Amino acid sequence: MAAGAIFNPRPSINNLMLGSTIGNYEVVSQFGEGGMGELYLGRHTRLAREVIIKTIRTEDFSPRQIEHLRDRLEREAFIQSQLDHPNIVRVYDFVAIGDATCIVMEYVPGRDLRKMISRETGPIAASRAIKLFKQVLAAVDYAHHFIYQDKSGERHQGIIHRDLKPANILVTPEDLVKVTDFGIVKVRGVKGGTQMGFNPGTPEYMSPEQARGRDLDQRSDIYSLGIVFYEMLTGHVPFEDDGSGTSDYEIRRGHIELPVPPLSKYYPGVSPELEKIVFKALEKNPDDRYQTGQQFLEVIEEFEQTGLAKFTGRMPGARQTVVHADRGAGRQSLAEAPTVGISETVITDPNQPFTNTATYNDNSKNLTARISAPIAESKPRGAMFREPRPAKSKAPLAVGIAVVALLTLGVTYWLITGSTPPDNPDTGTPLQAPVGMISISGGEFTMGRNDGNTFEGPAHPVKVDPFFIDKTEVTNTDYAEFVRQKRRQAPSHWPEGNFAPGEATFPVINVSWYDARDYCEWKGKRLPTEEEWEFAARGKDSLLYPYGNTPKAQCSNSSEEGLNKPRTVGSYPCGASPFNLLDMAGNVAEWTFTDYKPYPGSKAQPVEGKVYRGGTFKTPRAEQTTTDRYYDVPTFAADFLGFRCAKSVK
């Protein structure tokens, strides 16, 4: 893919004739559609070189606009042909013959970063994201310091891109990055540029000053790069259309006025230190950002070496940006944004407390930072009642009634769910589970086993905090409502976008990890961690199967049943776990929140992927253990894989 192309075979009035020759280039096929014109795959008639031929699409524009666009295309070619960097798409030629005006540029195999995130990876693992993003920084910093010569021979330094976004960043199969589409670049110190109502930039990636329509410098690109990095790590931009028709104005307002949401809102697995590095690029005041791409790069490389976010509050070279108080009345002035003095170096220690809003229980220490701001001595969770204090004005009868009521609540819960509800840490009273969920009181158990396969061991002690978890897997009916309300794509096996008759209470299948995560978040829940899932399945006695230590017939949907498909959730009550959860042995496997990594001391090799657990209707009964681990890329979906949700006890 090249130049942020979007494949679209729709012909236009100004299409080049396939098989024709323009200049020294044969038009081989239509390749796609860029922001301002058509894209074709071409071939040099004398050299063994494939190229992309970029033209102007003119049917929607007036003659004056067409003239402007042709001038712009020539300007793009003139500027970009002088750029010579391994991470920038090369421009080879500019051709203007008759009505045809084209730029001929380097063909880059692969896809753009936008498609990579949306179709392949979702949030990109931090190590890979950093590797890719460092190449983007190198390209943009090169352009910011590039000595440009215009057609009059006058020289200028620095090119501002003004539309940096994943669609303009190409990634090859070897993870080589190429930045493209310098068609709306601004040459620093040269007036003019994009005119006639063509507003440069894309709202989701605009800096606050760009959203206000102010003059820009290279620090606007730094902000846009911060948005790109945010999206690489989370799969989302901080200000976006939430599906309810959010306007461009509202998105721009977010950049100008609203705080950037923590990365944990979308993906809790990002290091708090790395989050600080991203937030530095997203300061509202340009003076408080990295002043150059090189500064941004150096901070990231320091993080790679030490795990620390180390930078000064105001980067060297920052100048005071003056914002007039009478502009944007009622909003905080950019100049009023809080800053840290230049002499105050911020060095954070990963061993020190860090406050994070994520609610995932992180027992494996590889998901999110724990909430570890100074906390007063915690109250005991184990006791259902506190030691009574001397009564002052309370009648003994009232105390007795309260005790009986609490006992009745606890016994009733146990009779219904078969498990003891966790205590409220503030009151010591039992917590009521949300409808359809089971309260798990937390505790220590032995995770894994030593007599299984390489991935299951070695056995090791794990402690989990109290949590809630769905009693059964999410059903087709549940998921259909999510599809309808959020306008999501239905699972691939649903005919005409709905589940088959008679399968309303079957567990939903053919959903990716991202689908499962988004559903749970829509419900105000989350995916369970792997530790939580195994504890809920085997209990404090670390059973090998949810129902005991030996396989039992008719306690799970296994290959011996011969159904070769899921059954209604809860069809095997004898297979209930010690906490009375159903279908954890068989029916469908279930996604967890956890990234796969070998257990401490394991000989298994580390790989990238999300863990899913539990047996399936295709699994022999004896192999439907509570300890077996599976993993795959988060885009994976299968007819044997579903999920259930969990919820933290707050």
CB 15, CB 30: distance < 8 Å: yes
Question: Is the distance from CB of 72 to CB of 197 less than 8 angstroms?
Answer: no
Q: Dump the DSSP string for 431-468.
A: PPPPTTEEEE--EEEEES-SSS-GGG-S-EEEEE--EE
- Neighbouring C-beta atoms of residue 435, cutoff 10 Å: 6
Q: How far is CA 6 from CA 33, 113, 173, 229, 231, in A?
A: 5, 12, 18, 22, 19
Instruction: Find the radius of gyration of the CA atoms of the chain.
Output: 29
Reading the block at residue 221, the tokens are 């690109």
CA-to-CA separations, 111 to 31, 41, 119, 178, 184, in angstroms, rounded: 12, 15, 10, 10, 21
- The single-letter code of the amino acid at 31 is F
Amino acid (one-letter) located at 106: E
Q: How far apart are CA 15 and CA 8, in angstroms?
A: 12
Known catalytic residues? 163
CA distance 578 to 628: 18
E-only strand ranges, 8-99: 21-22, 25-33, 38-44, 50-55, 91-97
Measured CA distances, 369 to 72, 99, 363, 469, 643 (Å): 48, 60, 10, 22, 25
C-beta neighbour count of 77 within 10 angstroms: 24
